[in-house]
A and B are shown apart, each in its own frame.
Chain A
Amino acid sequence: MSGVDVTAVAKSYGATKVLTDITQSFESSSFTSLLGPSGSGKTTLLRIIAGFVAPDEGAVRIAGADVTGVPVHARNIGMVFQSYALFPHMSVAANVGFGLGRRGIRGKVAKAQVDEALEMVRLPGFGGRYPRQLSGGQQQRVALARAIVIRPDVLLLDEPLSALDRRLRQEMQVELLRIQRESGLTTIFVTHDQEEALTLSDKVAILDRGRIVQMGRPAEVYERPRTKFAAEFLGDANFLTGKIRGNTVEIAGATIATQDALPADGTSVTVAVRPEKIAIRPADSAGNDALENRLPATVSSVIYTGTALTYMLRTGDLHLKVFAQNSDGSPLAAGSAVVLSWAARHSVMVEG
């Protein structure tokens, strides 16, 4: 059974197209991140699934039922807002119990479920406090408890961790994942933080200007980006543009090997190579490795961060970036002539 299905959804505000023809399934019990820059339409998509925004076209199904025309309050969703949106005039217990009350669950039964939810977010005994007496992280947990206690068909998270500081955010990521696994809720998570998306999700959907450009498991999307935008937005990438000859791509001064299926000879294509996939060695040292691609280059600068090194390089008028481990403690100096090498399977052909 499918958790959430979005079919051919489109939304415009005036002349601005916010979403164009989105069709996507979100599997039951899966954790999916909607990842994209601001203005990519990820929040609008989430609000369409929640019911706060009506799509101009298309349909939304939650747990098998068409809810396109159903108002928010009749959809059985759980939502966590960026600002938490806890009711300041109600105690933590009243906040968490709010949705239960709307479902006719009151008294002892409700209290037991509220306690259980607070237990789950590791805030047992906090029921009598008020939101203003809690820290940001605690408010976040209460918001989560309030959303999951009603056993929603889908849990929608709108950048819920963006207001927390870095350390707390990492802690909450772990908590969020644990709670999602324990509750088994179909979860859709909006974020612009790529690392967060990679760490948390079963699936990542990358949005660009109102379209889902790629969706898949984090490793799949990271290792085999389909478009230049996806490669660049999720991680770092070097782009090499050239013409196809046989089963290689010819760029200025070198031929690039790839394992991807290539179009006809003479077609212009772009290949993406992740900076950490490239090995770097001085030009005069022996190249005894089995890597198919070799590219001579000059170091323009090196960024030293202790554990790792970032080399900025130049070959012809092409600029490249390489991440290397600081394994021998003596980085190559700027101006050094080097050879870059990488495996054919790491040359990924991307669109536009």
Chain B
Amino acid sequence: MIKIARLFLALVLVFLYLPIVVMAAMGFNASPLYALPFDFTTHWYQELAGNGRLIEAGWNSIWLAVLTSVIATALGTLAALALWRRTFRGRSILRILLLPPIAIPWLITGTAMLVFFFWTGIGRGLHAMLIGHVALAIPYVVLVVGTGLQTLRADLEEAAMSLGSTPIHAFFRVTLPLLLPSIVGAALFAFAVSLDQFVISYFLSVPGMTTLPVEIYSAIRKGFTPEINAISTILLVASMIVILGFARFARPGGIGERS
């Protein structure tokens, strides 16, 4: 039984990773038509270096993801603290309302944002994409930080206060250090949500000022070149580093507190 299960798991992994490996390999293949035999070259990476549009879109993506991550993490952490540590009217409704945005198809969210931003005069462009990405990322941050807060005993802050800490001192000395793994995890999550975002970026971008996924999409429509493979590989490696960082900091099961 176990052998079959292992084989099955191996097949799943092959199925997932093989296309990616082929994609990355083709970025190092000389043929522009993806023809075999394999002939190693770094030509496409050199071409990419000269492709201003792709490079600029890449930087846009990274800056957008960094800003989204910082803003969404700050706002989301504050929201999580309010939703899990304070009691006020409508708290449970607000908690439940966090979930639908994760499930609503991005196409619908994107359309709604486009209409709303047009109507309010916010318009389109990188600033609109930033607002959109932050709005998308906040529920993830609240959920990750909220889960971390739930594993953190509320009486730790009380203990600090009984020893002479003001509420603010207790927060910075006790709660924040213990919550940090969750906050770092949430920040990486927000970063990934923004970096991967296509649909909303596509709706809210203006020509010539867009993110990498949107740029790749328009490039593909004009015809493939292995330059796409090259930049995809770079993006893939960057994403992998972020995900591994996530796994390293946000250990499942919280902060390793045992009693």
Partners in one complex: yes
25 A–B contact pairs at CB < 8 A? A50-B162, A71-B161, A71-B166, A72-B161, A73-B162, A73-B165, A73-B169, A79-B158, A79-B159, A81-B155, A83-B153, A83-B259, A85-B153, A86-B159, A87-B159, A87-B160, A87-B174, A88-B178, A89-B178, A98-B165, A99-B163, A102-B169, A131-B259, A139-B259, A150-B164
Assess whether A212 is interfacial by the CB under 8 Å rule. no
Pair B160/A98 contact, Cβ less than 8 Å: yes
Pair B159/A81 contact, Cβ less than 8 Å: yes
Contact with A along B184-199 (1 / 0, CB 8 A): 0000000000000000
Pair B156/A132 contact, Cβ less than 8 Å: no
Residues of A within 8 A of B258 (CB): 88, 132
CB distance from B157 to the nearest CB of A (A): 9
Q: Which of B167-185 contact A (CB under 8 A)?
A: 167, 169, 174, 177-178
Pair A85/B177 contact, Cβ less than 8 Å: no
Q: Which of A75-91 contact B (CB under 8 A)?
A: 76-79, 81, 83-89
Interface of A is mostly: mixed
Residues of B within 8 A of A74 (CB): 164
CB distance from A6 to the nearest CB of B (A): 18
Known pairs A132-B257, A132-B258, A139-B259; A85 contacts B156 (CB<8 A): yes
Pair B153/A99 contact, Cβ less than 8 Å: no
Chain A minimum-CB-distance residue to B259: A83
Q: Which of A5-64 contact B (CB under 8 A)?
A: 50, 52
Residues of B within 8 A of A136 (CB): 259
Residues of B within 8 A of A89 (CB): 177-178
Pair A103/B164 contact, Cβ less than 8 Å: yes
Residues of A within 8 A of B164 (CB): 73-74, 76, 99, 102-103, 150
Residues of A within 8 A of B163 (CB): 73, 98-99, 102, 146-147, 150
Q: Which of B117-167 contact A (CB under 8 A)?
A: 153, 155-156, 158-167
Assess whether B256 is interfacial by the CB under 8 Å rule. yes
Contact with B along A266-297 (1 / 0, CB 8 A): 00000000000000000000000000000000
Candidates B156, B161, B166, B259; contact of A87 at CB < 8 Å: B156
Interface of B is mostly: helix
Residues of A within 8 A of B174 (CB): 87
Chain A minimum-CB-distance residue to B152: A88
Assess whether B255 is interfacial by the CB under 8 Å rule. yes
Residues of A within 8 A of B158 (CB): 52, 72, 79, 81, 85
Residues of B within 8 A of A87 (CB): 156, 159-160, 174
Measured in the bound complex, the distance between the Cα atoms of B161 and A85 in whole Å is 12
Chain B minimum-CB-distance residue to A143: B159
Number of interface residues of A (CB under 8 A): 30
CB distance from B246 to the nearest CB of A (A): 21
Residues of B within 8 A of A86 (CB): 159
Measured in the bound complex, the distance between the Cα atoms of B158 and A147 in whole Å is 13
Residues of B within 8 A of A72 (CB): 158, 161-162
Residues of B within 8 A of A79 (CB): 158-159, 162
Chain B minimum-CB-distance residue to A76: B164
Residues of B within 8 A of A83 (CB): 153, 155, 259
Residues of B within 8 A of A85 (CB): 153, 155-156, 158-159
Measured in the bound complex, the distance between the Cα atoms of B156 and A131 in whole Å is 13
Residues of B within 8 A of A73 (CB): 161-167, 169
Measured in the bound complex, the distance between the Cα atoms of B156 and A52 in whole Å is 13
Measured in the bound complex, the distance between the Cα atoms of B153 and A188 in whole Å is 23
Contact with A along B29-51 (1 / 0, CB 8 A): 00000000000000000000000
Chain A minimum-CB-distance residue to B178: A89
Q: Name the residue in A79, A89, A132, A147 with the highest tally of chain B Cβ atoms < 10 Å from its Cβ.
A: A89
Chain B minimum-CB-distance residue to A75: B162
Residues of A within 8 A of B162 (CB): 50, 72-73, 77-79, 147, 156
Measured in the bound complex, the distance between the Cα atoms of B258 and A50 in whole Å is 26
Residues of A within 8 A of B165 (CB): 73, 98, 102
- Sorted from nearest, which 9 A-B pairs have the closest CB atoms? A102-B164, A99-B163, A85-B159, A79-B162, A88-B257, A72-B161, A85-B155, A132-B258, A73-B161
Residues of A within 8 A of B161 (CB): 52, 71-73
CB distance from B114 to the nearest CB of A (A): 45
Q: Which of A106-154 contact B (CB under 8 A)?
A: 131-132, 136, 139, 146-147, 150
CB distance from A299 to the nearest CB of B (A): 48
Chain B minimum-CB-distance residue to A163: B259
Measured in the bound complex, the distance between the Cα atoms of B172 and A87 in whole Å is 13
Chain A minimum-CB-distance residue to B258: A132
Residues of B within 8 A of A131 (CB): 259
For the A-B complex with A102-B164, A132-B256, A146-B163 known, give 4 more contacts whose Cβ atoms are closer than 8 Å.
A50-B162, A81-B159, A88-B257, A98-B160
CB distance from A138 to the nearest CB of B (A): 12
